[in-house]
A and B are shown apart, each in its own frame.
Chain A
Amino acid sequence: MESLLEFALNYAERLGSTYVEVRCRRDVSNTITMKNGEVQFSGFLREFGVGVRLIVNGSLGFASTNVLNRKSIINILSSASSMAKASASSKPIRFSNETVATDKWEVKQKVRFDSVSVKDKVELLSDIDKLFRSGNDVKFPSRLLILNETLTEQIFMNSEGAVIRSKVPRISFSYILTAYAPGKGTAQRFNKKGESRGWEAVTSWNLDRLASEEAKILGRILTEGMKPPKGEFDIILGSEVVGIICHESCGHPFEADRILGREAAAAGESFVNRSMLGERIGSERVTIVDDPTIPNSYGYYLYDDEGVRASRRELIRRGVINTFLHNRETAAVMGVKSNGAARSVSYSREPIIRMSNTYMDRGEYNFEELVESVREGVYIKSFMEWNIDDRRFNQRYVGLEAYRIRNGEFTNPIRNPILEITTPSLFMSIDAVGREISFSAATCGKGDPMQGAPVWTGGPEVRLRNVRLGGS
């Protein structure tokens, strides 16, 4: 395979490319889907091909094929090169200068995916499905469970001499659960667990306990949940909600390609601009990090798909805009080094700027301390519906598991409290941050064609002061 990649590098240079990179990537993915207690299918997806990116006459071209011979490589390179030449610009694309790496990295599976039989995996899903139905007083008429494991192997080479080999296993379990009670209607819960590990991850998730708790909580929301109060309150957000906020309201608007307008047509731009580096956007308590190097995290990697070493980056430090997420193109434009945020989800997709594991850094409070000073408040532990405008300024999170707080004590569950708020107001309202960080797995969508990238979102619980519950 390496000789074919070297051929691609050399051929692209003969076409006049000033920069070339090739990635040969194999994704082996296995999935079991269970609906309402019945396996719908067991299946696999095997992707294997080569993606080539090049700069010709200052224009960027990307091409891919899964027909792995010289003729096919010549065809796609010629196609990408001719389009790039036809679009030559007066503002040539440049990449930042980066250290050329020759390296190999791998996440080892302690328990290999294939050491656990399909039969055992199906039994696990059946057991979880039974526990999902175990809630009292309510029925669970619809349950959709999906178990996925993917092994990704890649060789990266570029015309600067980089050669990087990698191997990453990723495993995820996701579900959507519908609870129903006569006279109360329905409530739904979507959740996902995911890590870059072997089967041992599933064991560590303690899914039996999770399923029992989810069923119990959803039942309680349905049968006891009351209308949310109206007015201005202190709000405690659970780490699941904090995680999605960090992802949507900090990670995305800090992607330098959005800031420069490259994603304007589809995924959108950003309310943040280059001149805002160093500006305050949140309270002193707010530090938000994107870190691909967290061992076993769902968004884990050690080199990005441009061959740049991955690193932890503080996007917001103590409430101040500290850095953006960069690839080599945006880094060159802004006169900085890339911080290794270029990722591709397939050999057939161009690397673009992506988050990895985005979270709010820990604070000093334990949970009791966060709650005890709240006289009139709401605790939103989890969410179902959310969205944000394409400049990442106006967002909405609709709580799922949520409770009223009075005089520092939890009272009744409430249904569907809505936090609808602007990004600076949200970050400026945070006056206390908890000590314990936890993460949720998610698939982040961006790019055209759409690329769904595995990420973690997370943080500790936080407290917001004097926020009006939304919806109007």
Chain B
Amino acid sequence: MEPVDFASFAVNTGIRGGAEDVAATCIREDVKMVRFSNSKVTVNQAWHSSILNIMVAVRKRVAIGSIEDLSRGSVKKSIEYLLKTAKITPPKRDYVRLPKGPFEYNATQKLPPPPEGSTMIKYVEDAIEGALSKGAERVAGTSLYRKVETGIATSAGASGYDSLSSFEISVRAFSDEESSGHANSCARNEKDFYPAQAGEEAAEIAVKAANPVQGEAGLYDVVLGPNVFANLVNDVVNAASAFNVDAGLSFMVNRLGERIASGSLTIIDDGTLSDGLNSRAFDDEGVPTRRTIIVDRGILKSYLHNSSTAKKYRCSTTGNAGWIVPQPWNIVVEAGKLSEERILQELDDGLYVTNNWYTRFHDYRRGDFSTVCRDGLFRVKGGEIVQSLKGLRISGNLPKILRNIVALSSERRWVKWWEVDVPTLTPHILVRDVPFTRSTK
């Protein structure tokens, strides 16, 4: 059976059992992953899974299940359990019936055959060789191929199939024990996938990062590289999910229509991009995905919605269901006007941060957070890198950083790796007055 057949079977079974609304997605995934460290492969991984996700609603009472045993008996039993559970769950005030289909979806592209095991290893070898050729002492990383097929059916008449494959590599090159650089390449097609270039770029940063000295705390003008801004923009967009707004996990509460960022910043969620690693024709309610402007030249324009959160906010769904939590698809930060080279030259006296990790919030409502700089971190004077630094973290307020953006580069990179869940296309950005802290002892 195909994914859409499993989903349809679940919907029909749910309706026969007495559900008012049923939606089901069946996701079939094949993944190959090669991890490497110390310039050699550490583990080869491959996994296959087929998962059926089912939502049933009875008189606004919602139950959701996810199963991996897709036999008819298992599906029937699961739906019986979901219906029983839904009936004794209190109603959800803002629940609305599933959007009425059928819907028209864009045609699915034919996927190329998956890479052979030897090809997966070749990507890794290319990345390692690229890094070593540019002066890295050792190289680590992850290379991934992923194929996802999704079928959907809803009791409101939606039915569809979509598929996608993608390639990712994340490379971290070391020039000594404490000095490293990170770069990645990710693409929907092998022809746009550049493992060797990612290796070279990581090594170039690592070499520049050699012999770092302890950085000093203070307010700095900074250039944040695409890895850093992609990480922060993931948090911005998560804060725009209407569920998180209601749950207190957002600094955007009651801010629609207000300025929340510099006029140079525009952030978009787009599920329709042909080069997006997380594009899909439909959301989990069967609504066609779309392009949604979240922040338009600094003004908060929209939260991300499913049908139920849209009803509460008296607007239309943005095609981002998540039956409970609206989710972004691909994040796009609009490009600026300066070249990457020029944006660094704009930095008279400041820092260039190429990567970060471990972003944590003290108060999501206020947006108070810190994140640790990692890999290349540089002091810049007169537009030139003059020193490699270590031991600093950005300890600030996310809305304030967004307001203090003064320029964005014209070139953009796709970023997706361990610290960036949602694929993000972003430029380098220049920000004024960002607070940095360090250990006091």
Contact = CB atoms under 8 A, between A and B. Distances in A.
* A and B part of one assembly: yes
Interface of A: 33, 35-36, 38-49, 59-67, 72, 75-76, 79-80, 82-87, 89, 91, 117-119, 122, 141-144, 176, 178, 180, 185-188, 260-268, 348, 350, 384-391, 393-396, 398, 416, 418, 420-422, 425-426, 429, 448-450, 467-472
B191 to A, nearest CB: 22
A425 B374 CA distance: 21
A265 B35 contact: yes
B67 A388 contact: no
A83 B36 CA distance: 13
B247 interface: yes
19 contacts: A35-B243, A41-B323, A48-B69, A61-B43, A83-B34, A84-B44, A118-B85, A118-B88, A178-B364, A186-B363, A188-B363, A266-B417, A350-B43, A385-B369, A389-B391, A394-B439, A398-B362, A422-B439, A468-B440
Given A118-B88, A387-B358, A76 B48 contact: yes
Nearest to B55: A41
B327 to A, nearest CB: 15
A398 B371 CA distance: 13
B41 interface: yes
Interface of B: 32-38, 40-51, 55, 62-69, 78, 81-82, 85-86, 88-90, 92-93, 116-118, 120-121, 124, 138, 140-142, 170-172, 174, 178, 217, 243, 246-249, 323-324, 357-366, 368-372, 374, 391, 393, 395, 417-419, 437-441
Contacts of A421: 439-441
Nearest to A177: B248
B92 A38 contact: yes
Q: Count chain B CB atoms within 10 A of each CB in A35, A45, A62, A264 and give the residue with the most.
A: A264
Given A83-B34, A265-B171, A348 B49 contact: yes
A49 B51 CA distance: 11
Contacts of B170: 265-266
Q: Count chain B CB atoms within 10 A of each CB in A36, A43, A64, A91 and give the residue with the most.
A: A43
Contact of A46 (B37, B65, B85): B65
B155 to A, nearest CB: 17
Given A79-B32, A385-B361, A448-B142, A420 B89 contact: no
Of all A-B residue pairs in the complex, the 7 with the closest CB atoms, nearest first, are: A142-B248, A83-B44, A178-B248, A83-B117, A385-B362, A264-B140, A43-B64
A48 B51 CA distance: 10
Nearest to A266: B418
A261 B141 contact: no
Given A46-B68, A91-B40, A142-B248, 8 more contacts: A44-B66, A45-B65, A46-B69, A59-B44, A66-B69, A87-B124, A186-B366, A386-B360
A142 B247 contact: yes
A163 to B, nearest CB: 23
B357 A396 contact: no
B117 A85 contact: yes
A87 B247 contact: no
B439 A384 contact: no
Nearest to B363: A188
A384 B362 contact: yes
Given A43-B64, A420-B438, A188 B248 contact: yes
A267 B374 CA distance: 11
A35 B42 contact: no
Contacts of A260: 38
Contact of A390 (B37, B363, B372): B372
A396 B391 CA distance: 11
B83 to A, nearest CB: 11
A186 B365 contact: yes
Contacts of A75: 48
A75 B370 CA distance: 45
A52 B89 CA distance: 39
A188 B362 CA distance: 7
A471 B49 contact: no
A425 B121 contact: no
Nearest to B250: A142
Contacts of B357: 268, 390
A263 B439 contact: no
Contact of B47 (A65, A141, A416, A448): A65
Contact of A65 (B34, B49, B178, B323): B49
B44 A264 contact: no
A43 B249 contact: no
B40 A60 contact: no
A38 B62 CA distance: 11
B358 A470 contact: no
A122 B90 contact: yes
Nearest to A449: B33
A42 B82 CA distance: 8
Contact of A63 (B36, B47, B391): B47
Contacts of B364: 178, 188
B79 to A, nearest CB: 11
